[in-house]
Structure 1
Amino acid sequence: MVLLVAQGWQDHDDADALRHDPAMRLAVGSAAGLTPLTGHPGLASQPTLSRCTAMLAEPANLKVLREAALELAGRNLRAENHGKRRSRTTLDVDSLPIEVHGHQPKAEWNGHYRSRIYHPLITSIAETGDMLDARLRPGNVGTADGALDVILDVVDRAEDSLCEITHVRIDAGFPSGALLSGLEARGIHHVARLRANPALDRLAAPHMKRPVGRRPTEPRMWTHELEYQAGTWDEPRRVVLVVKERPDDLLLDRFFLVTSISRFQMNGQALLDHYRQRGKAEGHMGELMDVLSPALSSTNRTKTHLRGNKPKSVTPAVDAFACNEIRLLIAMLAYQIMHVARRAMTRATKTPWSLRRLRERVLRAGARLVISARRMTLILAEAAAPFWAAVWPQIQMLRGAGP
């Protein structure tokens, strides 16, 4: 299923067309010789994949699949770091609207996005592009709903596999008093954007003045240190005011960052630079949606017709919400595998690669399978062969890294 999604085959019906494809059978088969090609009846069909999805949706299997993406990212990052965990990693946590068009359970109208959606919570690493965790949630929940438990779980697993110290970076929809206190109680440093309010604007007012001199020809930013306690917070916290000046604007603009990092560890400008890295995480989530396009289409309705005919037996309805979470996790695993290959290709060719370019130029390349008495040879298309020759040693290096 992961390979199908990585290559762009979103619908399980595509499996029926590809189950007898020789290259696909060799890629997913573990048997030696001609067995993958001669075995009957070929790879999994659409009904088999649907049953597999339902089995993976069992709570124990769902937990293992959820842990797989973080473990895959951990192995890749350790391999790139000579087998060692990183000293520090920042986790980016954000919600991601996924629009649906059917009777999917818990898909609801969301007034903010003005569509019927699921509202999953995604955890990633902006600086490296790795996706670590995805939690499917109903479409009408708030951005921060259940976020603290998810963050603490991912932090625990990340510090076992990825790094020694974990920081968290979140946007303005998250920083409630309970969430910030929960992170600080565990000693987890955080930086978050704060929504503006009259109290913050009063604190910022003395600093909303243009510097002496001519207006700049390019946009510029500067910071000021504040201390602020919201009504739901149990103590004052460090807040950094970021003032923005644009050449054509009459008035200055501003936004606020709240953090548990002291000014001695990171000054205002350094904190702003650190927070702005979050934009990369949004770019990676956009790539997940654009290239992998998770199709969360499972519903609880039992099948009354199968390809125009009534089924021979009636099976009970599946847990469609859990099945849709499996589909989301499969898409995230496909992203992560493609991302590992993308980083390997970037190292090999010294040029940046997008996931779409990787798919079209490398993963979906034409090939011809030649079978002789003693061996099978897969002859790649001339356009793709140099890329595979460059990336294969990098992939072998990652395979040798081990857990």
Structure 2
Amino acid sequence: MHVSERLLQLYADTNATTRTNLQDLIKQNLGDGKSLSVSYEELTGSSDATLSADEKSSEDFAAWIKDGKKDAMFLPYYVSLLEMHEAVLRKEATIPQSKSIDKVIVEETRIVEKAPVPAPTVVKDSKPREKSAVSKPRYTPEIPVPSRTERAKYNRTIEPARPRRKSRKWIGALFFFALLIGGGYIGYPYVMDLLEPKQEAKIVKEAPKPDPEPVVQEPETNYVWLASKNVNLVSEPNGTTVTYIGDIGDRYEIVQEQDDHIEVDLDGTTAWAPLDAVTTDWPTRDLTDSALLDWVNTNLNNEWLSESIPDFFAMNEAALTETIGAPFGRETDALNAYAFYNGGFFVIQDDKVHAIDWTNTQTTREAFSPLGEAVLETDDAVVYESETYSLRLFEGTNGQTRVRLTEK
């Protein structure tokens, strides 16, 4: 059984208090830094050569728990200790704990009050400046003005003007008549054109042509499906930091392809999957929703569910708790939240029930034969799909099986 599947099974079998006590004990043992193999030997009394020899501190372990258990080095170490939690906690209970007294010295700081600085006084001059009135000198002509008698000596006697000749009037009249006759000759065609009645042109209105309907072209989106059980989606190509562990049949949108890895979208973040663990060819089958749900109601234990199966996929986490009560355990990773109950757990994605898992079912793949041909089948998993749902079987190495029903 894959280590991630062992972790889900252990979370379903242990309560939150036991896991919290074990996590506190691991942090106390790791301290400022210690290799995971040495820490495992000190906590359990036995050794495990498969564990990492790199040093990890309690802060690294706390960050690993908080970030959704992404580091692949901590995962086998934590799962192995969780499987032996009874022996580890029993051994720790026999070791006396020393008490330490922290001394806290509180220093008082004197507060020196600063005297206020008086603002500078501005003295304003109350007496406005008087403007000196300077009178302008009167104009005195350089040459004296002559008297009226003297001015009369220089004025000539004005004689009456001579009358104009009458011939100029006749010339003006002849010019006016010539201008009038020439203007009439030139403007006659235009005046006649204005007086003639005009035929109104008939305007034929053409019916407006309807606009062609716009063609909406949907962008082509490429997807891949995981073709193997428990695929590690890492933060970078050929990296060791696990962002999310996907299951067979999960569908993701392609972001880009590089070397032998492909980057997929994980609802706001991205991760890289190896090309040999994905497929772009996903067949369809003629399996109806009613036939698939009838198989679930007939072959699985649904006593821990108080509602019909389709009703759960319309619930958020608050409605789920109100319907069947609070879970005894809850965990999260980079993509989902998991609510554990006696009999199985719910996978919650974007605050909505995304999948239902039945644990320890003892269901074999032969029981799926009434559903017809599977969409995908491997040595340890099988996938059936209808129009709305995906039904999957995961087989463990210890004979236990897990069944997941997902809304596509």
Normalising by structure 1, what TM-score? 0.19
Structure of greater Rg: 2
TM-score, length-scaled by structure 2: 0.19
Structure (1/2) with the larger helix percentage: 1
More relative contact order, 1 or 2 (CA 8 Å, 6+ apart): 1
